[in-house]
Structure 1
Amino acid sequence: MDEQKAPSEEKEAAAPADGAVASEEMGSAEGDPLKPPEGASAGPEPESTDTEGPPEAGSPLGRRCALCNCGDWSLHGQRELQRFEPVPDWPERLVGHEPPDGPGQPPPGPPQLPPEPELAGDGLAQIGFSEGVTPAQLFEPTGHCWVHHWCAAWAAGAAPEVAGVARAVFSGISQKCERCGRAGATIPCRAAAGCSRLYHFPCAAASGCFQSVKTLRLFCPEHVAEAVDTEDARCSLCKGPGDLRDLVLC
């Protein structure tokens, strides 16, 4: 006959199985830190240390460059916006560009640039100004203007005088960029035989122009071969000129 186990022995035999199940349940609920129990809070989210971001509307960073029309938060390498002195003959320079409030007088309040449409997918499409932009829209009432560091450095006639930047802004009002066809272009091609092409700073790189950082001279794609003789017309890695249109300005 089969021996019958005592009730106490049956309980002792079942105990390990029940204990293992209980241990597994506790481990699934408490042992996995990546999966908190249902209904329990995972704790406060860590505060982000990334303080950079696009400027808010109405902030001082909402200013626009008087040459390329980009704001201080620009991804095209123009560096920071800087405030430049007015031309010596301000406000006489406004003659011929009279604002509605009266001849030769800038409008009160901060300058308001023409509204630009929001174009997704191509930031270069928003560079420059449409026809009809006036000095009163680009300058403060005092005659000061805001221009990016590199837009000012490359602008024709901007150096070495501080007021030369303001003069470049006046010139750019009637000068169109070879690439985008919009006003504000002040960087000329320095071809030996002369060239009428002008560019915005961001448009120059997008057009395949050669830009000599050491001499601040630009050569358009048609005259890029003349850049071979410049001091920095060599790739910093292979040390050769190669195709100058493929060199990246860093």
Structure 2
Amino acid sequence: KIPTIREDHKEVLEKVEYLIKNKIVKPYKTKWVAIKLLEGDKEITNIVKETVDEVTWKNVYGILSKHEDAFLSVACGRYDWIGRRTEEVIVRHMHRRRHPHAHNRLMGRLMRLPIVRRGMGQVTLTHFLDNIVTHPFWGFIVLICILGLIFWMTYSIGAPLQKILDKYLVQESSNLIMRKLAEFPDWFKGLIVDGVIGGAGTVLTFIPILLIFFFVFGFL
């Protein structure tokens, strides 16, 4: 029995076979071509694209795009086949030599198949989102939307906090310092209140905006 694809992608293989059936020129066989398409073979992909009609290729390409991990199932199917054939040969050999314990030790070292890969045959949410955000057109649209949302969140949340800090930190501090320095010259009061308190306070009022901005970007 020749190597075949694993069960998790057999339905996908059958769909591709059905779409290209009777549309592939000899000497290629339909099943072999379908497997090669799932593997991502460039030469066979180009041949099929040039051979079948546009509607058929669009349907085939849609299936291949949703199951880009199918090549893993094809490879694992071959490894499964190799594992079974190897086990059969070793069993026959050990049976002839009547060394069952040696057979178990050897099989323990050689046989580590099948390898189970979770999620094969399924398009995960992460995979789906990756296809969107890395798209040449839609990825750019998503980027603009994300940046717009970030700036909107930053100023819609940060601006009220900035006003609160300006009112209760800068203005109240300035009024308090101004009363304490009532007997000092005007130039000194201006230096302390308008220069030190006003300058440093203005910088401090931007802290909420900066914190929100960098927190959101850090999360992304």
Give the structure-2-normalised TM-score. 0.24
Greater RCO, CA 8 A, separation 6+: 2
The TM-score with structure 1 as length reference comes to 0.22
More strand per residue: 1
Higher helix share: 2
